[in-house]
Amino acid sequence: MPTDFSDRLRATPAKPGVYIMRGRSGAVLYVGKAAKLRNRLRSYFAKKAKHPFKIREMVKRVAEFEYIVAESEQEALLLECNLIKQNKPPYNARLKDDKSYPFIKVDLTEDFPQVYITRTVKRDGSRYFGPFASASSVRRTLALLKKLFPYRSCTKTITGNDPRPCLDYYISRCVGPCIGAVDKEQYREVIEQVFLFLDGKADRILKSLESRMMEASESLEFERAATLRDQIQAIEKVHEGQKVLHLSSETLDLIALASDGDEAWMEVFFVRQGKLVGRDHFIMTSTKDDTTGEILSAFVKQFYEVNPYVPPRILVQDELVDTEAIETWLSEKRRSRVRIYMPQRGEKRRLMRMVAENASEGMEQRRVQAAAEEGALGQAMEELQEALNLPTLPRRMECYDISNTQGSNPVGSMVVFDEGKPKSSDYRKFQIKGVDGVDDYSMMREMLTRRFRRLADPKSQVAEVDDGDRSEGKGEAWQQAPDLVLIDGGKGHLGAALQVFLELGITSIPLASLAKENEELFVPQTPEPIVLPRTSPALFLVQRLRDEAHRFAITYHRQRRSKKSTTSALDHVPGIGPKRRQMLIRQFGSVQGVREATLEDVAAVPGMTLTLASKVKEWL
């Protein structure tokens, strides 16, 4: 233990709070919370302490620690969640890619709300449902909702004065607010049905729809009654597929896990009104040596910290390490009591065993799939090494692509595959600055020079950049030499890259290009292309790498182009500052939307006046 820690530990208060362990570089190694900071920190550095292997290794690396005193253990718990999410400490069990989990969002500040996917939860008056494990699971849910409930799927500004509706209206997939077929209150009834369905309260929807169907039938509105009948039948079909449990009308979540090495598969079953309405799974990382209770505690804190909804009961596979503090925190969030416990008998115990079995099965499938992918990727890299006559296996591959529109807003991308898999933390994007007009070869030369100049000469200084360009970022991404550099393009692009390598004196990094038209590989000093079999794993690998570079480049190009378009159109309108500009874009979706809106609609935007609206319309 460092000698200076003893005095600091004695001075540490015996109060609730969060502690942060840092390594020699200052990087955060571990974040934890404690009811009494002094006692918890002393336990780490006690000479005869018996810690799990992971904690012993962490303590060896600690060069500094700090703490934040909190008013309560619940406040410390919330702060701990935020710090783990922000810093991703390597010794904390945490949700894999927790920032990217998607939600369903309904913006209730709109007169005619849309239902869509988002990855950001804000306190903005919207309702959120989730998190979901993947975007595909959200899309499946949204597709189901659209079949059941006729809310709008368009993004247009609703005035009620459109001359004709879209196809959705004619096939009863939208109630037609765009043509004034319904008012705000009637449309809100549809959205309330969506809420009830997502909350697992389909029975209430069915009762309401059946009542409305009878009213329509009695009023001789047979077409409307038939539409409601079809909607009832569709909801009943889904409702019947939800497993009925012997849990009365209880609402609860059940959580179990299966761990394997440094990962844990978290299985969650959602029971609403006594019915199993859904299930999902999540992956926790850095779980090696952690007990089941510790992993469950970490998951429950991180999962419900981002989840807008907390059920009154949470059933877990094992006792949490800090149940009381988590219950208090979640009760405050729910605004009514939340209980967390391990079921001991009966239907809940049986259901928990089923959740645990699903977790074990999921973990086993993940293990088998990982082994299969590893074998296939290994074969692909070996084939590529042989085809290109590479000196080593291409474990780290970098691919470069250029994107522009007739020479405007030119950008470049660098993507990295490590062991055959994307390593997004090493991706870089480039603003092309020294090339005018349409000249892809010069753009490629500029990008590669900026990337490899520092690798060829670590002491070289490259000018700082701004506006999202991460090409000059620091870190190990710049220090690692790739085993293969792949260029998206043909012989000309390869020649431009080779010129940069020769100028920088780089001779040890293999270079190749992939031409899209015939999927041919070119390498320097070989006039004929290398054609891999269409079913070759090596070809699939380089295609994935090339396609990822293209996706990354074109996404950045569109962002730059969109930003420039917005800036050029609205930035110079007299009296329109950043806030008003943001409100206009938020209300109408784009500059084109502002252009198409009526003068009255623009004037009705918060912060706008009729005079300012006139200036905007004149300017556009």
Alpha-carbon gap, residue 548 to 550, rounded angstroms: 5
CB 153 within 8 A of CB 168: yes
Q: What is the CATH architecture of 571-619?
A: Orthogonal Bundle (1.10)
Alpha-carbon gap, residue 145 to 114, rounded angstroms: 12
Alpha-carbon gap, residue 238 to 225, rounded angstroms: 20
pLDDT for the residue numbered 267: 94
Alpha-carbon gap, residue 297 to 317, rounded angstroms: 11
pLDDT band at 576, cuts 50/70/90?
confident
Where exactly are the structural domains of the chain? 5-92, 252-364, 396-558, 571-619
pLDDT for the residue numbered 458: 61
Q: Which residue has the higher pLDDT, 3 or 91?
A: 91
pLDDT for the residue numbered 176: 93
DSSP state letters, 358-370: HHHHHHHHHHHHH
Classified as helix, coil or strand, 34 is: strand
Classified as helix, coil or strand, 512 is: strand
pLDDT for the residue numbered 466: 38
Same fold, 252-364 and 396-558: yes
CA atoms within 13 A on the CB side of 4: 4
Largest CA distance in the chain: 88
Q: Percent of the chain, pLDDT > 90?
A: 36
Alpha-carbon gap, residue 177 to 193, rounded angstroms: 17
Among 1, 6, 36, CA closest to 19? 36
Is the pLDDT at 401 greater than 90? The verdict is: yes
- For 396-558, CATH number out of 3.40.50.300, 3.30.420.340, 3.50.50.60, 1.10.8.60 equals 3.30.420.340
Is the pLDDT at 473 greater than 60? The verdict is: no
| Arithmetic mean of pLDDT, 564-585 | 74
Q: Which of the given ranges, 27-31, 97-101, 219-223, has the highest pLDDT on average?
A: 27-31
pLDDT band at 342, cuts 50/70/90?
very high
Tokens of 136: 């595909």
Counting beta carbons within 10 angstroms of the beta carbon of residue 164, is it exposed (0 to 12), middle (13 to 18) or buried (19 or more)?
Answer: exposed
Tokens of 226: 């038939």
Alpha-carbon gap, residue 547 to 516, rounded angstroms: 10
pLDDT band at 2, cuts 50/70/90?
very low
CB 27 within 8 A of CB 59: no
Distance, CA of 308 to chain centre: 16
Among 95, 30, 93, 55, CA closest to 286? 93
Among 64, 81, 126, 130, CA closest to 102? 130
| Arithmetic mean of pLDDT, 75-104 | 81
Beta bridge partners of 347: none
Is the pLDDT at 464 greater than 70? The verdict is: no
CB 279 within 8 A of CB 270: yes
Angle between helices 537-570 and 346-388 (to 10 degrees): 100
Classified as helix, coil or strand, 271 is: strand
pLDDT for the residue numbered 268: 93
CB 71 within 8 A of CB 103: no
pTM: 0.56
Q: What is the pLDDT of residues 498-546, one digit of tens each?
A: 999 999 999 899 999 999 878 999 999 888 999 999 889 999 999 999 9
pLDDT for the residue numbered 439: 84
- For 252-364, CATH number out of 1.10.3470, 3.40.50, 3.10.20, 3.30.420 equals 3.30.420
Q: Is the peptide bond before 524 cis (omega within 30 degrees of 0)?
A: no
CATH class, domain 5-92, is alpha beta
| Arithmetic mean of pLDDT, 194-213 | 80
Give backbone dihedrals phi and psi of 198, rounded to 5 degrees, phi first: -70, -25
CB 305 within 8 A of CB 399: no
- The two beta strands, 339-341 and 94-95, are unpaired
pLDDT for the residue numbered 79: 86
Query: H or E element: which one contains 293?
Result: helix 292-306
Q: Percent of the chain, pLDDT > 70?
A: 91
Beta bridge partners of 64: 22
Mean pLDDT of the chain: 85
pLDDT for the residue numbered 4: 58
Q: What is the pLDDT of residues 557-570, one digit of tens each?
A: 888 776 665 555 67
Phi-psi region of 489 (alpha: psi -120 to 50; beta: other; left: phi over 0): left
258, 279, 446 from 320: Cα distances, Å: 15, 21, 55
Q: What is the pLDDT of residues 153-203, one digit of tens each?
A: 888 889 899 989 988 898 888 999 999 999 999 999 999 988 888 877 777
